[in-house]
Structure 1
Amino acid sequence: MTSKVVSDFLSMYNRTEEELLTPEQLESKGVFSGEKEFIEFAERDYNTDKHWTFEIKKEECALLVIDMQEDFVNPSHPMAVPEAYRMVPRMKKMIEACREQGVPVIFTAHNIAEDCNHGFYEFWEPIKNGAIKEGTPGADIYSGIYPLPGERVIRTKHAYCSFSGTDLDYVLRNLGVKTLIISGTLTNFCCESTARTGYFLNYNIVFGEDINATDSALAHEATLRTMRRGFGRVMPGERIASALKDGDALYQEAVQARAELKNNADDARLLRQA
């Protein structure tokens, strides 16, 4: 019987079951045998939280609050994202948790001008009409979570990625940061782009599943799946705050569970060889 995961795969790629590779053609011993099992393995992996990959240590962290600006958050503004507006209370809790634990909070603000629009005018009509225009009130950080005096705001951001053309990497390295907590909007554009580049620059990535927001639930989930499978740890804001305050229990539990799984596998292997 074909599982829903395999059926959905076949539908998406317009293929028949007969076209799938057989166990003789595709196999990874102990992991999958044949393309059906491969598809199901991949699906499980996209939904597996890999909390064992690194430990969250507050002295190594920084919170990035990405593009939570008036034009993106305020419902009366032209590019407002309703879910970004709704998550402001959770975002405020995350920001306050970091401040209380001495974790740097760094804000970014996407600014566009005539001489640095890089095609944004063609993709985004509201930007062409003046949204997030450099130097305007709409491009400033949303009033409900405005930075404290002395908190860093990256305002030279002209692209989706917060590292592109900015001094963010210098700021982070100067602070001794090794782990980035990603929050903001849009999940699948600026937040995902920043997380990817941060990972490529050898930062650990913690991606907040409920402190990032976008205009499509499907796009939000797609980013979480990608982050979870190969870029970082996906966690709700409350669990991130708990790890900063009380230690990373999820990491400890995951490491212990993996060690037990390996021991059980080794025992089973020895029994087979006996």
Structure 2
Amino acid sequence: MDPVSRFLREYQRDENELLGADRLRAPGVFEGEREFIEFAERDYTTDKHWAFEIRPAECALIVVDMQEDFVNPDNPMCVPEAYRQVPRIRSLVECCRSVGAPVFYTEHTIAPDVAHDFYEFWPPIKAGAIAEGKPGSKLYREFQPVDGERVISAKHNYDSFAGTDLDYALRNRGVRTLIISGTLTNFCCESTARTGYFLGYHIVFGSDVNATDSALAHDATLRTLRRGFARVMDHQQIMEILRTGDAPHREAVAARQG
């Protein structure tokens, strides 16, 4: 068994081992603590599709950092899962174009005067990956913005809003709901989703159009966003809602949840 599969198997726990059953039976455990943890576990895995309605006229798609250095298999910081998700993200882009939902792309770029301390510990960045103005920092070649689609290229942080004009551009287009896709799930995509939520946007987070380098990290982001920040769904569900409306999807979810 490969190391990742072994780790995933060891990570999984049955319901009697939730956060360590022995610890929850130990002296000092609060009355009702197990029930509280079980409630939280259910909440982390329950998509709250009733939280807000997705209206295509109020939506924008954010394609986060799908750049040559992050996506191209020949480049030093390639995220393999991001490369595999290109066709799905492109389908989502085309769907948004067809319903008139604007598309925004971000490019994470590094320059000496806008670099954080942590970057110096990443050898590819020290060697020039995603350097400002270099080919590797540009959108991956399979993404070709059309007229009216904005590229946010002055992004020097995980958060697509920090120090950029993204919020201004979104509000100028009357956007109320952000559909988040791209890479890395647990860094730039999650940071963008959280700040979007803090700024008052509704957040839709694509479970299969956000990519990272760890299955556990990806799942942790989905769990946290699902519980308190976003409606989480796959790209097929997102496209169906954009094309046919949200009511049928929400009614189907309500029926399944009783």
> TM-score over 0.5 for the alignment?
yes
Q: For residues 220 and 70 of structure 1, what CA distance do their matches in structure 2 show? A: 21
Tell me the amino acid that sits aligned with residue 221 of structure 1: D
Q: Do 2:63 and 2:182's aligned partners in 1 also have CA atoms closer than 8 Å? A: yes
Q: For residues 73 and 197 of structure 1, what CA distance do their matches in structure 2 show? A: 24
Match of 1:74 in 2: 72
Match of 1:191 in 2: 189
Q: For residues 197 and 20 of structure 1, what CA distance do their matches in structure 2 show? A: 37
Match of 1:17 in 2: 25
The 5-angstrom pairing of residues 164-175 of structure 1 reads: 164-175=162-173
Q: For residues 169 and 183 of structure 2, what CA distance do their matches in structure 1 show? A: 21
Please state whether the residue corresponding to 1:51 is helix, strand or coil: coil
The alignment yields a C-alpha RMSD, in angstroms, of 1.8
Q: For residues 238 and 67 of structure 2, what CA distance do their matches in structure 1 show? A: 23
Tell me the amino acid that sits aligned with residue 136 of structure 2: G
Equivalent of residue 217 in structure 1, options 215, 218, 221:
215
Q: For residues 121 and 47 of structure 2, what CA distance do their matches in structure 1 show? A: 34
Match of 1:7 in 2: 17
Match of 1:200 in 2: 198
Match of 2:4 in 1: none
Quote the offset at 1:118 in angstroms. 1.4
Please state whether the residue corresponding to 1:18 is helix, strand or coil: coil
TM-superposition CA deviations, 1:206-236 (whole Å, max 9, x none): 0000000000000000000001000010000
Q: For residues 242 and 8 of structure 1, what CA distance do their matches in structure 2 show? A: 36
Aligned length: 245
TM-superposition CA deviations, 1:27-63 (whole Å, max 9, x none): xxxxxxx111111111111000100000110000000
Q: For residues 16 and 206 of structure 1, what CA distance do their matches in structure 2 show? A: 35
Q: Do 2:102 and 2:148's aligned partners in 1 also have CA atoms closer than 8 Å? A: no
Equivalent of residue 50 in structure 1, options 41, 48, 51:
48
The 5-angstrom pairing of residues 187-266 of structure 1 reads: 187-248=185-246, 249-254=248-253
Q: For residues 129 and 199 of structure 2, what CA distance do their matches in structure 1 show? A: 31
The 5-angstrom pairing of residues 106-117 of structure 1 reads: 106-117=104-115
Q: For residues 201 and 244 of structure 2, what CA distance do their matches in structure 1 show? A: 22
Q: For residues 16 and 126 of structure 2, what CA distance do their matches in structure 1 show? A: 43
Consecutive unaligned residues in structure 2, runs of 5 or more: 1-12
Please state whether the residue corresponding to 1:188 is helix, strand or coil: helix
Q: For residues 6 and 192 of structure 1, what CA distance do their matches in structure 2 show? A: 31
Please state whether the residue corresponding to 1:144 is helix, strand or coil: coil
Moved more, 130-139 or 113-122: 113-122
Match of 1:97 in 2: 95
Tell me the amino acid that sits aligned with residue 26 of structure 2: E
Please state whether the residue corresponding to 1:143 is helix, strand or coil: coil
Match of 1:158 in 2: 156
Q: For residues 27 and 233 of structure 2, what CA distance do their matches in structure 1 show? A: 37
Q: For residues 56 and 67 of structure 2, what CA distance do their matches in structure 1 show? A: 26
- Counting aligned pairs with the same residue, the percent is 61
Please state whether the residue corresponding to 2:178 is helix, strand or coil: strand
Larger Rg: 1
Quote the offset at 1:243 in angstroms. 0.4
TM-superposition CA deviations, 1:102-128 (whole Å, max 9, x none): 100000000100111111432322111
Q: For residues 133 and 125 of structure 2, what CA distance do their matches in structure 1 show? A: 13
Q: For residues 46 and 20 of structure 1, what CA distance do their matches in structure 2 show? A: 25
Equivalent of residue 85 in structure 1, options 65, 83, 86:
83
